[in-house]
Amino acid sequence: MSERRQFQGWGRTAPVMATAVTGTAGEVGDLLRSAGPRGLIARGLGRSYGDAAQNSGGEVLLPIEGQPRLVGDRVVAAAGTSLHDLIRFLLPHGRFLPVTPGTRYVSVGGAIACDVHGKSHHVTGTFGAHVDSFDLVTPDGTTRTVTAEGEPELFWATVGGMGLTGVVTSATLRTIAVESGWVDVTTDRFEDLHSLMAAMREGDDAWTYSVAWVDTLSRGRSGAGPGRSVLTRGEHAARAALDARRSGTPYPLPGDPRLGAPRGLPSGLVSPLSVRAFNELWFRKAPRHRSGELQTLATFFHPLDGVADWNRLYGPAGFVQYQLVVPDEAGDVVRDAVATLAASGHASFLAVLKRFGPANAGLLSFPMAGWTLALDLPARPGLGRLLDRLDDAVVEAGGRIYLAKDSRLRADRFAAMYPRREEFARVRDRVDPGRVLSSDLARRLDL
Amino acid sequence: MIDALGRPQSLLLLGGTSEIALATARAWADAKPHVTLAARPGPARDDAAAALTSEGFEVDVVDFEAEDTESHPALIDRVASRRDIDVALVCFGVLGDEEEAWTDHAAAVRLARVNYTGAVSVGVCLASVVRRQGHGTIVALSSVAGERVRRSNFVYGSTKAGMDGFFLGLGEALREHGGRVLVVRPGFVHTKMTAGRPAAPLSVTADQVAEAIVKGVADGSDLVWVPGLMRGVMSGLRHVPRPLFRRLPL
């Protein structure tokens, strides 16, 4: 089945037309062989912010669905399975995913292609680090089961490879045992970025999950610099830690969103004024210090999933997410980025700071040891130039920006950020010499 | 591709020596777009290409003759086969001498051929590229002269009125194919085309038109006036009864 349709990323910028195609895992080979001159890209749930899962004028393969199966402590899932469904399937078995990103509404295939990370990267690494194997259909139509041991090059080109090495149809993932579906959370408030970063540098290794929310608009009180923040850290709660009420439902399942953003909201709702008001509220709501709070997995890991289509809040102009990583010693880039934004009046509704552990072998994988800052910015005049300047600082520091979030990076800066892109190109030359797999991101970054 | 902030990676300038076209390329300089200059061969094109190259742009030149509509399909296909055309500027046109334009048959026909037939011809070719690509923006340089055609330059004005209407319609047609058309209606622009003529009120520079184009593309607009105030002025003038309009010093 095929149909012309408009595609855009989660940021709702740069919409294009392409042909949506569907098929079973067994039909992917034929779909690849019959792809038109502008090629094909697989798409999951459309949570990539930019143009990674759109292919203007070409074909876009919609998610391949199937029921997950538990095999020992591994789960076998179709590429189109959402992490939402996967977590709901695993939890009653007392099992959970070792890595979960900030939303459950991403597909297994997308999580591999973007090599997503979560609040535990410093302990667990990326999603790809827990993939036993995946079935990959390459443009010659053959399906192979790829493992890190058997075909390390193809494996690590596909993990983080933005869907450009083949179409993943299913994957076998390692899972972890959890005694409950609750997280034991400790929250701390900081008046400025400096004290936050010191606390994270000192204490993060003691926690499996850690993430900080930063107010990019705060100018700082007397004596404090910019960037007041709330740091949240957590561990899976032991069964014994649950009170009587909670031990009755030790594995509360994450539900579907209860709220939805209406259609047709105007641009400009997310403005410096509204962000300032929200940030004030959010900061004041957080305790100076609190520990032992039990939160559900959904509340702790996926707070935004409670509101369906929250991306509509940005109106028709849409927004971009800018996520950078810089090495540990380049913490100044993070502080400068926050200060530059505060001074420019470009309001980030969400600014999230995390520490990453060491990089993996993924050729285009994003994380590397150091600091990562993610910003959601309404698409407004002047933003391009500002982010270009941040790009230069990131390159200078030996860092990079995250392709799953990107929608505006320039090809020359991408090349400077990802030194292993030539190895990646060699793998593509081997498996896809005719460049059948293509996306707007690949065109934009000359991938 | 046009990025999330409306910045193109590649530009096709049809009328590549036009000051407005070159000013627009420069206004996008930080996005470092690849530029294809389509113009008649000659020193003007060489100078424009050399200037852009020295400013860090990657530039290609192709031979383009607005009146030679037969050559347009192959030319535009050739450009599109090298890389996506993210933004195409239709910015060629002749002003001519107002009185000669309606008294001299050849002059009138030439104006109509360049400004209207040529524009329609490239518009159709570009539309087919946009449909194939699933994205792309066509910027058509119209004029306030086309909004209400005046006695003082009615041959020119009528060609602009025609091309303006064509591109507005093309924008509607391309919408469902992922494409956009931006019609730009500047007032009097200080360029070599208008050199020596008395500047009208609300006159603008090529840079101001370029700025409006960059913003219009980023916003996904389908019609912009430069300056914006011109919209109000013209919508007033448009409804002035003909006997009165005739007496206005326009």
Chain segment B216-240, per-residue pLDDT in tens: 999 999 999 998 888 888 888 888 8
- How far apart CA A172 and CA A190 sit, in angstroms, is 41
- Confidence class of residue A342 from pLDDT cuts 50, 70 and 90? confident
Q: Give me the percent of chain B exceeding a pLDDT of 70.
A: 100
> Helices A331-344 and A193-203 meet at what angle, rounded to 10?
150
Asked if B34 reaches chain A (Cβ–Cβ under 8 Å), the answer is no
B65: left (phi over 0), alpha (psi -120 to 50) or beta: beta
Contact flag B135-A56 (C-beta cutoff 8 Å):
yes
- Confidence class of residue B17 from pLDDT cuts 50, 70 and 90? very high
Q: Using an 8 Å CB-CB cutoff, list chain A residues near B178.
A: 6, 15-18, 56-57
For residues A343-350, give the mean pLDDT: 80
Show Cβ contacts of residue A44 under 8 Å, excluding neighbours closer than 6 positions: A53, A63, A79, A80, A82, A106, A107, A108, A109, A110, A113
Question: Could you tell me which residue, B64 or B199, shows the higher pLDDT?
Answer: B64
- Confidence class of residue A279 from pLDDT cuts 50, 70 and 90? confident
Show Cβ contacts of residue A201 under 8 Å, excluding neighbours closer than 6 positions: A328, A355
Tell me which residue has tokens 């909670």.
A246
C-beta of residue A107 within 8 angstroms of C-beta of residue A128: no
- How far apart CA A367 and CA A327 sit, in angstroms, is 10
- Residue A219 is predicted with a pLDDT of 66
Residue B80: CB atoms within 10 A of its CB come to 22
- How far apart CA A199 and CA A331 sit, in angstroms, is 13
- Residue B132 is predicted with a pLDDT of 96
- How far apart CA A295 and CA A270 sit, in angstroms, is 28
- Residue B97 is predicted with a pLDDT of 87
Q: Could you check whether the bond before residue A358 is cis, i.e. omega within 30 degrees of 0?
A: no
Q: Using an 8 Å CB-CB cutoff, list chain B residues near A320.
A: 4-5
Query: If contacts are CB pairs under 8 Å, which of residues 337-376 in chain A contact chain B?
Result: none
Least confident of A31-45, A111-125, A176-190, B138-152: B138-152
Q: What is the token pair recorded at A23?
A: 């098929």
- How far apart CA A150 and CA A336 sit, in angstroms, is 44
In angstroms, the separation between the Cα of residue B131 and the nearest Cα of chain A is 7
Q: Is the pLDDT of residue A304 over 90?
A: no
Q: Is the pLDDT of residue A220 over 70?
A: no
Least confident of A48-57, A89-98, A154-163, B94-103: B94-103
Q: Is the pLDDT of residue A73 over 60?
A: yes
- Confidence class of residue B135 from pLDDT cuts 50, 70 and 90? very high
Mutate to test the interface with A, among B2, B5, B85, B219 (most CBs of A within 10 A): B5
Q: Is the pLDDT of residue A259 over 80?
A: no
Q: Using an 8 Å CB-CB cutoff, list chain B residues near A388.
A: 30
| Residue in A57, A105, A45 with CA at minimum distance from that of residue A298 | A105
Q: Is the pLDDT of residue A118 over 60?
A: yes
C-beta of residue B99 within 8 angstroms of C-beta of residue B151: no
- How far apart CA B136 and CA B72 sit, in angstroms, is 18
Q: Is the pLDDT of residue A360 over 90?
A: yes
- Confidence class of residue A53 from pLDDT cuts 50, 70 and 90? very high
Least confident of A204-218, A266-280, A318-332: A266-280
What tens digit of pLDDT does each residue of B70-100 get? 999 999 999 999 999 999 999 999 988 888 8
- How far apart CA A216 and CA A345 sit, in angstroms, is 10
- Residue A223 is predicted with a pLDDT of 53
Q: Is the pLDDT of residue A139 over 60?
A: yes
Q: Is the pLDDT of residue A222 over 80?
A: no
Max Cα-Cα span within chain A: 65
DSSP summary character for residue A256: -
Between B5, B9, B134, which is nearest A444 by CB?
Answer: B9
Question: Could you tell me which residue, B191 or B155, shows the higher pLDDT?
Answer: B155
In angstroms, the separation between the Cα of residue B18 and the nearest Cα of chain A is 26
Distances (CA, A) of A410 to A16, A81, B29, B136: 19, 32, 12, 18
- Confidence class of residue A257 from pLDDT cuts 50, 70 and 90? confident
Query: Contacts from B244-250 at CB under 8 Å and sequence distance 24+?
Result: B245/B148, B245/B150, B246/B151, B250/B150, B250/B151, B250/B152
Q: Using an 8 Å CB-CB cutoff, list chain A residues near B10.
A: none
Q: Give me the percent of chain A exceeding a pLDDT of 90.
A: 76
- Residue A55 is predicted with a pLDDT of 98
What is the edge-to-edge ordering of all strands in the sheet holding A69-71? Answer: A69-71, A74-78, A167-174, A131-137, A143-147
Q: Using an 8 Å CB-CB cutoff, list chain B residues near A56.
A: 1, 84, 133-135, 178
Between B9, B30, B177, which is nearest A384 by CB?
Answer: B30
Contact flag A381-B215 (C-beta cutoff 8 Å):
yes
Residue A245 Cα to chain centre, angstroms: 34
| Residue B116 annotated as catalytic | no
In angstroms, the separation between the Cα of residue B179 and the nearest Cα of chain A is 8
Tell me which residue has tokens 């004596």.
A223
Q: Is the pLDDT of residue B21 over 60?
A: yes
b vs e for B140-178, b when ≥16 Cβ sit within 10 Å of the residue's Cβ?
Answer: bbbbbbbbbbbeebebbbbbbbbbbebbeebbeebeebb
Residue A425: CB atoms within 10 A of its CB come to 14
Query: If contacts are CB pairs under 8 Å, which of residues 393-422 in chain A contact chain B?
Result: 407-408, 410-412
- Residue B238 is predicted with a pLDDT of 82
Contact flag A410-B84 (C-beta cutoff 8 Å):
no
For residues A410-429, give the mean pLDDT: 96
Q: Is the pLDDT of residue B250 over 80?
A: no
| Residue in A67, A288, A330 with CA at minimum distance from that of residue A188 | A288
- Which pTM does this prediction carry? 0.93
